[in-house]
Structure 1
Amino acid sequence: MSFSFQNRVKQVGLYCLLSLIALLFTDNHLFGQENNSFKGLPFISNYGPETYKAGIQNWDIIQDDKGLIYVANNMGLLVFDGRAWTRYGLNNTKVRSAHFGKDGKIYVGSQADFGFITPDQRGQLLYTSLADSLPDEVRDFDETWKVYEIEDKIYFCTFKRIYVYDGNSIDIIQPDSRLEISFQVDNLLYTFQMESGLSVLKGTQFELVRNGDFFKEKRIANVLNYEKGSLLIATVEYGAFLYNNGSINPFQFKGDFWRNDYLINYSTRLRNGNIAIGTQNAGLFIVEKNGELVLHLDKESGLMDLTINYIYEDINGGLWLAMNNGVARVDLNSPFTFIDDRMGLSGSGYTALLQDDVVYLGTNNGLFKWENGKINFVGGTSGQVYTIQELNGKVLVGHHNGTFIVEGGKARKVFDENGAWTFKSPPGQPNLVIQGNYTGLFLFEWKNGSLEFKQKIKGFSESSRILEFDGDKLWIAHGYKGVFKLEFNENFTEVISSKRYDSRSGFPSDVLINVFKISNQLIFTADRGFYRFNETEDKFEPSVEYGDVLTKQTTMVDMESDELGNIYYIEQNKLGVLKLQANNKFENHSSSFNKIRSYWNDDLANVIVLDNHNILIGGKQGFIHYSPEKDIPRTVQPKILFKEIINSGKKDSLIFSGHENDKHPLEAIQDQKFKYSQNSFSFEFVSPHYESGREVLYQYKLENYDENWS
Structure 2
Amino acid sequence: MLSQELPPIVKYPSTIYGAGNQSWMISQDDQNYLYFANNEGLLEYNGTNWKLYPTPNETIMRSVKVIDNKIYTGCYMNFGYWTRQSNGKLKYTSLSDTIKNKILDDEQFWNILKYDQWILFQSLNRIYIYDTKTKGFKIISPKNGVVKSFSTKTSIYYQTTNEGLFEIEAGRGKLISDNPILKKYTIVNLYSIDEGLLIQTQLDGFYKLTGTSLTPFMTDVDAAIKSSFVYSSQRLQDGSYALGTVSNGIFILSNSGKLNYHISQSKGLSNNTVLSLFEDRDQNVWVGLDNGINCINLQTPVHSFTDDTGVLGTVYASKVHNGILYVGTNQGLFCKKYQSNGDFQFINGTKGQVWSLFVYDNTLFCGHDSGTFIIDNASARSIFSGSGTWKFESVPNAKNQLLQGNYYGISVLEKVNNQWKFKNKIKGFDYSSRYFEITNKLEVYVSHEYKGIFRIQLDNSLLKAKQFYAYP
TM category, shorter? 0.7 to 0.9
**Equivalent residue letter for 1:188:** S
Which residue of the other structure, out of 243, 248, 264, is the alignment partner of 2:214? Answer: 248
SS at match of 1:261: helix
Which residue of the other structure, out of 224, 245, 258, is the alignment partner of 1:279? Answer: 245
SS at match of 1:336: coil
**Equivalent residue letter for 1:474:** L
The superposition leaves residues 60-85 of structure 1 with CA deviations (integer Å, 9 ceiling, x where unpaired) of 00011111111111221211122232
SS at match of 2:15: helix
- Count of paired positions: 458
User: 2: distance between equivalents of 1:483 and 1:134?
Assistant: 87
Within 5 Å, which residues of 2 pair with 1:150-549? 150-167=115-132, 168-212=135-179, 214-225=181-192, 227-254=193-220, 258=224, 260-341=226-307, 350-363=316-329, 367-371=333-337, 373-375=342-344, 385-390=354-359, 395-399=364-368, 402-404=371-373, 406=375, 409=379, 414-418=384-388, 420-422=390-392, 424=394, 430=400, 433-437=402-406, 439-444=408-413, 455-461=424-430, 464=433, 465-467=435-437, 470=440, 474-479=442-447, 481=453, 486-489=458-461, 492-495=462-465, 497-498=466-467
**Equivalent residue letter for 2:254:** E
Alpha carbons 1:381, 1:411 under 8 Å: kept? no
Alpha carbons 2:179, 2:214 under 8 Å: kept? no
Shift of 1:313: 0.8
Which residue of the other structure, out of 83, 97, 107, is the alignment partner of 1:132? Answer: 97
**Equivalent residue letter for 2:385:** F
Alpha carbons 1:199, 1:207 under 8 Å: kept? yes
The superposition leaves residues 382-438 of structure 1 with CA deviations (integer Å, 9 ceiling, x where unpaired) of 7764321356876432245644455754686942524522254786674x6532235
Point out where structure 2 has 5 or more consecutive residues left out of the alignment.
Answer: none
Report % sequence identity: 30
**Equivalent residue letter for 1:293:** L
Shift of 1:270: 1.3
User: 1: distance between equivalents of 2:270 and 2:202?
Assistant: 22
Q: Would you say 1:121 and 2:96 are equivalent positions?
A: no
Shift of 1:289: 1.5
1:574 maps to which residue?
A: none
Shift of 1:109: 0.7
User: 2: distance between equivalents of 1:376 and 1:302?
Assistant: 24
Shift of 1:365: 6.6
Which residue of the other structure, out of 66, 74, 90, is the alignment partner of 1:109? Answer: 74
- Pair 280,397 (structure 1): closer, same or farther in 2 beyond 3 Å: same
- After TM superposition, the score normalised by the length of structure 2 is 0.84
Which residue of the other structure, out of 24, 30, 40, is the alignment partner of 1:65? Answer: 30
Alpha carbons 1:378, 1:411 under 8 Å: kept? no
Alpha carbons 1:339, 1:345 under 8 Å: kept? no
- Pair 413,344 (structure 1): closer, same or farther in 2 beyond 3 Å: farther
User: 2: distance between equivalents of 1:213 and 1:433?
Assistant: 72
User: 2: distance between equivalents of 1:290 and 1:118?
Assistant: 41
- Pair 349,84 (structure 1): closer, same or farther in 2 beyond 3 Å: farther
- Pair 344,80 (structure 1): closer, same or farther in 2 beyond 3 Å: farther
**Equivalent residue letter for 1:493:** L
Shift of 1:190: 0.6
- Pair 384,243 (structure 1): closer, same or farther in 2 beyond 3 Å: same
User: 2: distance between equivalents of 1:169 and 1:350?
Assistant: 67
Shift of 1:362: 2.9
User: 2: distance between equivalents of 1:344 and 1:357?
Assistant: 25
SS at match of 1:312: strand
Shift of 1:114: 1.0
Alpha carbons 1:60, 1:71 under 8 Å: kept? yes
- Pair 469,169 (structure 1): closer, same or farther in 2 beyond 3 Å: same
- After TM superposition, the score normalised by the length of structure 1 is 0.58
Shift of 1:282: 1.9
Alpha carbons 2:358, 2:366 under 8 Å: kept? yes
SS at match of 1:272: coil
**Equivalent residue letter for 2:175:** L
- Pair 282,98 (structure 1): closer, same or farther in 2 beyond 3 Å: same
The superposition leaves residues 610-653 of structure 1 with CA deviations (integer Å, 9 ceiling, x where unpaired) of xxxxxxxxxxxxxxxxxxxxxxxxxxxxxxxxxxxxxxxxxxxx
Alpha carbons 2:395, 2:438 under 8 Å: kept? no
Within 5 Å, which residues of 2 pair with 1:611-622? none
**Equivalent residue letter for 1:197:** G
**Equivalent residue letter for 2:243:** I
Shift of 1:266: 2.2
Q: Which has the higher strand share?
A: 2
User: 2: distance between equivalents of 1:315 and 1:392?
Assistant: 44
Within 5 Å, which residues of 2 pair with 1:11-90? 40-90=5-55
Alpha carbons 1:402, 1:418 under 8 Å: kept? yes
- Report 1 or 2 for greater relative contact order, CA contacts < 8 Å, sequence distance ≥ 6: 1
Between 1:443-452 and 1:58-67, the stretch displaced more is 443-452
Alpha carbons 2:454, 2:468 under 8 Å: kept? no
**Equivalent residue letter for 1:304:** S
**Equivalent residue letter for 1:488:** N
Alpha carbons 1:442, 1:457 under 8 Å: kept? yes
